[in-house]
Structure 1
């Protein structure tokens, strides 16, 4: 993926060797990302991380009198940090400072889009707020382990996101009595209509049902206004009324267009639909199929589309602006895809991909044992044999209490061992309960 947007080459000739070094590092990171023949090792990632930090130190020394400089070096450096951040997740070091870099980028994109269109819910903001608090704790705990420059950079990125989040929350706080629930419902209807609009097979009946929900909300207004139980008009009545109008109007447009995109914008539409569908599939099969570094390519493709807009609008090959229907459809796909990337990042387990097959098996065993326990247990210890055999086979994989990959000790040993111990405990409880019941 080409760098986007195009940035000028460094004016200071001393930055050129740094750019060349960063390009080599990014190429090595890309090759490592694409290599599926083996698991990613911590030693490989840390070596590339140390080399990147060396370049940052050299760059900072050159720019002591021009810290605001922004050229192609910065774009390539951002790419290196994005990849390294995702690699830290891949090797299970999710709770270390570098892992926060990519997540703050995605959060910033999401918040910028929320701000642009003013279409977001309380649930959206609550989840992001929890994530930012977690990232703050990670960065704080990493002060002694990582470069002060990196810690400062991450702190600034987190606080930039926090400022946007606070502004969005203030806008929601203006909603008067009874309106937050209506606002939340309208946002849900709008998103559902946009989802129906981008399905492979358009369903008019689905959109009509959603439209009916919006009309039901409209029917409860009095003289075009929302009113409280005491008959008063709550604050921000007009804002929610405008949102209702958008909802009804969007349903009419979608029913009229039936998912048909003009030829001039069909290519970007198909690409964005494909990205959205792939990310949606990953969100369903994440535990078994995701390597976090795969998200880099999706993020860069989305960034390219997002940054190609002119004054916030999409343009075709002849520089013509997209009409409202196309504009909203493409923006929905971009925003939905960013949301999937965010979900996949925050759902990433702090376990190396080398241990994920074992970890996932134990997760499945744990769910099965809990289900057996909740449904009344077993009538005989013999029924637990399949679970016991599987647990023992996993336990026998350990060497001196550790799961090994050759000579390497992958990250996430504690998480896997805790899960294994929990499964053994559940199995033991079920066996004791069955034996006690049989004796009685």
Structure 2
């Protein structure tokens, strides 16, 4: 984190602040590693307020002075990255500090989309929605947050993200609607090929299937051009044709490499595939196994590898740049990993990890009840007993309407109570439907007897 590129502070006041911030960061790191107890809101808030105070002092110290980025700025960033993930862990997702880490990831994603020139409207729509939500959170926090500089900093980060997003959206606006399906298909194919290329076992037949799809798209062109009814090239023809050629050439290279990877780049490749695979597993088991602070280490590893590039590429021990195949493969792995981190962050529930076991049980119970309802309900009320018993057992955990954990009242009480209420409503609807069905059957039987 404190590389030679980032100088140490010269000012004595900044040196003192650096020492305090490093102590706070160490405490956050230790708390992150402790899995024996749940993260408590009060523990996080104490460290958050200490960080805010040090940043306030730093701003006062730098007022009217010209300052360059030094180690203090890097440690401030580390503290806020960790605190942001801790806010998610304790369920305070809808407060400004929680937005800090997410804006960092969004900026990385947007920069990579810009650099690769490989994106679709669907990619941008999700990010735009998230930025709007973060903007609302930051604006709503202004009346409560005692750290105006953090609000201003977050607002600035969101604005920078939005500028890049608008530039990317503008590129897509230049495409004719008729060519967009082909463009989106090519983006998907290129990403699928990159994924196949980085699997543990390489299967040429998977690439050949995608090459067949490329031929189908190629067949839609006239003399290599995407044209309209009058035979004139559609708006966006040139970049889409270039993307088609890029896909074709990439498939040739992948088949030629046959799953092999140059030895001098194997260490970084193995590191990135390891990160990608771990994040993939987390995305499948997120509700039960993810503590948001776990994402910090993945972020830092990816940031370090990404920032080691020279003019957009990596160089080996002898100063030789990676060839295009290596560069694109490594960049795909980095982008995919940032994508997983983004997905895990936006999927984080506004519920403290202390309440997550109860929340997850209710989520599962709700899905089961909806499934029963969608498949015709139950034939007798007796079939609902297991669901009713589970609901009552969870409801009985409340003390004065609150779910307590080790004497604390964790964040997310409203979300858990609302979910419990939804389960009760579904259970009640199924019971009423079963009773009505039983009454109807009873009446029909009575009529038949008469």
- How much has 1:230 moved relative to structure 2? 3.8
**Structure 2 residue 225 is the aligned partner of structure 1 residue 215:** no
Unmatched segments (≥5 aa) in structure 1: none
Other-structure match for 2:24? 25
**Structure 2 residue 69 is the aligned partner of structure 1 residue 70:** yes
Unmatched segments (≥5 aa) in structure 2: 441-450
Matches of 1:4 and 1:98 in 2, distance apart? 26
- How much has 1:419 moved relative to structure 2? 0.3
- How much has 1:232 moved relative to structure 2? 2.4
Query: Does the CA contact (< 8 Å) of 1:5 and 1:307 recur in 2?
Result: no
- How much has 1:11 moved relative to structure 2? 1.7
Query: Does the CA contact (< 8 Å) of 1:215 and 1:248 recur in 2?
Result: no
Task: Say which SS state the counterpart of residue 403 (structure 2) adopts.
Answer: coil
Task: Say which SS state the counterpart of residue 314 (structure 1) adopts.
Answer: coil
Matches of 1:427 and 1:86 in 2, distance apart? 36
- How much has 1:209 moved relative to structure 2? 0.5
- How much has 1:433 moved relative to structure 2? 1.0
Q: How many residues align?
A: 439
Alignment of 1:236-385 (within 5 A): 236-385=236-385
RMSD: 1.0
- How much has 1:177 moved relative to structure 2? 3.7
* 8-17 or 193-202, larger mean C-alpha shift: 8-17
Other-structure match for 1:108? 107
- How much has 1:66 moved relative to structure 2? 2.9
Per-residue CA deviation, residues 318-357 of structure 1 (Å, 9 max, x unaligned), is 2211111111100000000000000000000000000000
* TM-score normalised by structure 1 residue count: 0.98
Query: Does the CA contact (< 8 Å) of 1:40 and 1:90 recur in 2?
Result: yes
Other-structure match for 1:418? 418
- How much has 1:315 moved relative to structure 2? 1.4
Matches of 1:195 and 1:307 in 2, distance apart? 23
Other-structure match for 1:168? 168
| Structure with greater Cα Rg | 2
Query: Does the CA contact (< 8 Å) of 1:177 and 1:228 recur in 2?
Result: no
* 338-347 or 11-20, larger mean C-alpha shift: 11-20
Q: Are residues 23 and 102 of structure 1, via their aligned partners in 2, closer, same or farther at CA, if it must alter by over 3 Å?
A: same
Matches of 1:402 and 1:177 in 2, distance apart? 53
Task: Say which SS state the counterpart of residue 178 (structure 1) adopts.
Answer: helix
Matches of 1:395 and 1:406 in 2, distance apart? 17
Matches of 1:71 and 1:217 in 2, distance apart? 51
Matches of 2:437 and 2:421 in 1, distance apart? 24
* 262-271 or 233-242, larger mean C-alpha shift: 233-242
Other-structure match for 1:144? 143
- How much has 1:141 moved relative to structure 2? 0.5
Per-residue CA deviation, residues 197-248 of structure 1 (Å, 9 max, x unaligned), is 0000001000111111112111211111101234321112111110110010
Query: Does the CA contact (< 8 Å) of 1:4 and 1:304 recur in 2?
Result: no
Matches of 2:323 and 2:40 in 1, distance apart? 49
Alignment of 1:119-138 (within 5 A): 119-138=118-137
Per-residue CA deviation, residues 119-140 of structure 1 (Å, 9 max, x unaligned), is 1111000100000000000001
Matches of 1:326 and 1:430 in 2, distance apart? 57
- How much has 1:4 moved relative to structure 2? 5.5
**Runs of at least 4 residues of structure 1 off by over 3 A?**
2-6
Query: Does the CA contact (< 8 Å) of 1:352 and 1:411 recur in 2?
Result: yes
Task: Say which SS state the counterpart of residue 432 (structure 1) adopts.
Answer: helix
* TM-score normalised by structure 2 residue count: 0.96
